Structure 1
Amino acid sequence: MKRKTKIVATLGPSSENLVDKLQHFVDVFRVNLAHGDDESQERYFRLLREKAPNSSILADLPGPKLRIGDIPKMELRRGQRVTFSPYHDIIVNEPIFFSSVIPGSIILLSDGMIKVKVEEVEKDEVRGVVLTDGILTARKGINIPDMKLASGLTDNDLRLMRKALEMGADYLGLSFVLSENDVRKVKESVGSRVWVISKIEKGQAVDRLFNIVEESDAVMVARGDLGVEIGLENLPYVQRKIIRTSKLLGKPVILATQVLESMVNSPLPSRAEVIDVANSVYQGVDAIMLSDETAAGKYPLEAIQYLDQIISSSEDKVKPLRPSPMRSPDDAIAYASLSLSELSRSEVIAVHSRSGLSVIRVSRLRPKATILALSPDNSITRKLKLCWGVQPVSIQETAGNINDLISIIEGKCREIGIKGNVVIVAGDPKMESGRTNLLKLHFID
């Protein structure tokens, strides 16, 4: 497997007829539940299961995202007085909007392109003055940086969460997570059926970052709303902080938003975008996600192909940063597997795991060798597609002891065509799931 950093692609109108081609590059498809209706979302899930059965699916929940209602396109000019109301002018239907702003609040529209300063607030009307020119259209996002919410979960999120589970999602993306309590609430509901991915896009989440990452199965650097919330000048530092914290705690991390934004309308990426992708690879992200580029852009296939090329070229030239090993017996085995593979010139580290934890421990350390993740649980292998350097493989056999386990691993390696020295990492089948206590250099002729 040449490319180690994984690709996540958002499915949408521009790409739904290209799934058969995109699946050769995409590891995880994202279905954004903030858009479309029940019928279109169900159609996307069916399409992916039929056309890309080996790909995993991320169901992205909308969270408490405020949006402009259905309005005609309007041009706003600096100094213009505007009114937000459910009935006229700039339509906003969410009651939380009117209860959250106060005189002096800054309302950011269209990803922060338009700023409005609040002057007066009534029960269902907010009046303010435009600070920056811009074009406003229907369904654009609303951000209020000083807005404080008790929870990032809504009743609609909980409804969509149940629906996503029924449709067979492998991951749930939680938008606008505010604290570890949001993550805990979802995990208590879904158990281990899916991985919960926390999207860091609020200042409140940055303040609780360590706790949120610790509670999550994976993390996303959602740079769109995050940049609006904390200020673009602070985004590079916070991005590095999120990646560093995720790697420290051994949680997969996805980079998202405006990765190849110019390719929404252009067949080529900008030079700045290419450098941004390469720098993300150097920082050691597990995956990079495309949003509008594949969902609504003119060149979805070209965008995926360019991302694949940039990642592959970057990985050939610079090693990702390797975090320090954790002080535990399980991580000692994972760390030793890297040294053993490098000194023995093994190109494969075969990790047998019932829970996926052993695989994540090895992936976190960014080995040179490909990580062959073998699991008897197909739901685990689907989730592991998100992890850096991991090639998941489902196995049918169940081992009763260590000798059986080694025999199963050797048989699967032969089936795939792997020969020579292979480093085996596993846990004794008689031990509880999630523990790692076996390290072996095994030769396959």
Structure 2
Amino acid sequence: MKRFILTVGPSLMNTVKLNEIHNEKYIYRINGAHGSVRDIEEYILEIRRQVPGADILMDLPGNKVRTKDIEIPITLEKGKEFEIPCNNFNYQEFYKHLEPGMTAWANDSTFEFEVKKTDPEKITFLSKSEGALISNKGVHIRGIHDDIPFLFEKDRSLIDLANQYHLSFVGLSFVRKPENIIEVKNILDSNVEIISKVETLEAVENLNEILQEVKYILVDRGDLSTDIGIEKIPRYQKFIIQKALYYGVNVFLATQVLKNMEEKPIPTIAEIDDLYQIYTSGVYGVQMSEETAVGKYIKECINILEKMCDEVEKETLVL
């Protein structure tokens, strides 16, 4: 295991300072989906204040349609219709790509809706779930992205920041074809490495071509599961890793690696087994998301990553 990506947030960087845990193998990830461009610039400056010279990953939000500016959570009742104004999406022309009968998944696929009606003012959905929908939650509909721009306005502003502050990495979200990567290469400084995220079915279908454009990919199991179905994740994960290794591309793996440790000081046995399988699969690194951004046990989480790394290395030496 070469590198660990640790997401900064209210927990890591504020509650736990970076200089308390820093190691040269750590890459500090800023989730560009959260906060304004100015907020994200402050994150860069704070990381640099705490650990000058740290490797920083700017993870672009990408063209994932998200809710925004929802001041009062929308109550979802199974079998009941509800409306979302078009200006409560980060892409106001979302309605143009929808047709009645389409299925939408929201909040990491925990909510399911059916599109009922659309117009330039609002979208009407039928909820098939119970809960509350809040701001900054993805709303995903399969098969509509061919006509949606790859880079939204915020992505371009964050690329400008990456260039300005000479960041180490930029993560490209919702890559579907090699042309998406080439588009970013044309505006990104050549000394900033691209990590192309594999989180769409199209990216898997175009994997050979994508792997020829980058040195790094990241398998985001959460968003990929929305596109292909959660039951297919183990098979697809194995295929993507093996294909990347064949091309000599470094692979990071993300999503719920140590989910239990957001709230508890130890992982589950299932998580430890998953971590072992990941480490022995040939991946270059893993990413901690909520585990470090908002988790309660950051140091314990990082300790588990390191201990498992040592354990796998000892096993390799013995064998």
- On whether the aligned pair clears a TM of 0.5, the verdict is yes
Map 1:283-322 → 2, pairs under 5 A: 283-317=281-315
- SS in structure 2 at match of 1:111: coil
- Correspondent of 1:179 among 177, 197, 204: 177
Q: Comparing 146-155 with 264-273, which one deviates more in the overlay?
A: 146-155
- Once residues 154 and 44 of structure 1 are traced to their aligned partners in structure 2, the CA distance between those partners, rounded to angstroms, is 21
Letter matched to residue 78 of structure 1: K
Matched, 1:131 2:114: no
Pick closer, same or farther for the CA change 1:200–1:96 going to 2, 3 Å: farther
- SS in structure 2 at match of 1:152: coil
Per the alignment, residue 259 of structure 1 pairs with: 257
- Correspondent of 1:232 among 230, 233, 239: 230
Map 1:25-424 → 2, pairs under 5 A: 26-53=25-52, 55-71=54-70, 72-86=72-86, 91-150=88-147, 151-317=149-315
Q: Comparing 184-193 with 251-260, which one deviates more in the overlay?
A: 184-193
2:4 touches 2:286 (CA, 8 Å); kept in 1? yes
1:29 touches 1:58 (CA, 8 Å); kept in 2? yes
Gaps of 5+ in 2: none
Pick closer, same or farther for the CA change 1:81–1:217 going to 2, 3 Å: same
- SS in structure 1 at match of 2:83: strand
- SS in structure 2 at match of 1:117: strand
2:30 touches 2:43 (CA, 8 Å); kept in 1? yes
Q: What is the number of equivalent residue pairs in this alignment? A: 314
RMSD of aligned alpha carbons? 2.1
Letter matched to residue 113 of structure 1: T
- Once residues 251 and 221 of structure 1 are traced to their aligned partners in structure 2, the CA distance between those partners, rounded to angstroms, is 12
- Once residues 318 and 193 of structure 1 are traced to their aligned partners in structure 2, the CA distance between those partners, rounded to angstroms, is 34
- SS in structure 1 at match of 2:117: strand
1:107 touches 1:142 (CA, 8 Å); kept in 2? yes
- Once residues 212 and 229 of structure 1 are traced to their aligned partners in structure 2, the CA distance between those partners, rounded to angstroms, is 18
TM-score (normalizing by structure 2): 0.91
1:254 touches 1:286 (CA, 8 Å); kept in 2? yes
Q: Percent identity?
A: 31
1:152 touches 1:175 (CA, 8 Å); kept in 2? no
2:102 touches 2:115 (CA, 8 Å); kept in 1? yes
- SS in structure 2 at match of 1:246: helix
| CA distances 1:155-177 after superposition (whole Å, capped 9, x unpaired) | 33222112111112111111111
| CA distances 1:357-388 after superposition (whole Å, capped 9, x unpaired) | xxxxxxxxxxx9xxxxxxxxxxxxxxxxxxxx
- Once residues 161 and 76 of structure 1 are traced to their aligned partners in structure 2, the CA distance between those partners, rounded to angstroms, is 36
Pick closer, same or farther for the CA change 1:128–1:50 going to 2, 3 Å: closer
Q: CA offset at residue 53 of structure 1?
A: 3.3
- Once residues 93 and 40 of structure 1 are traced to their aligned partners in structure 2, the CA distance between those partners, rounded to angstroms, is 17
- In our comparison, the structure showing a higher alpha carbon Rg is 1
Q: CA offset at residue 297 of structure 1?
A: 1.5
- SS in structure 2 at match of 1:190: coil
Pick closer, same or farther for the CA change 1:284–1:92 going to 2, 3 Å: same
Gaps of 5+ in 1: 320-367, 369-445
Pick closer, same or farther for the CA change 1:25–1:261 going to 2, 3 Å: farther
1:32 touches 1:61 (CA, 8 Å); kept in 2? yes
| CA distances 1:165-205 after superposition (whole Å, capped 9, x unpaired) | 11121111111112101111222333531111111111221
TM-score (normalizing by structure 1): 0.66
- SS in structure 1 at match of 2:146: coil
- Once residues 44 and 267 of structure 1 are traced to their aligned partners in structure 2, the CA distance between those partners, rounded to angstroms, is 26
Per the alignment, residue 402 of structure 1 pairs with: none
Pick closer, same or farther for the CA change 1:279–1:212 going to 2, 3 Å: same
- Once residues 258 and 13 of structure 2 are traced to their aligned partners in structure 1, the CA distance between those partners, rounded to angstroms, is 19
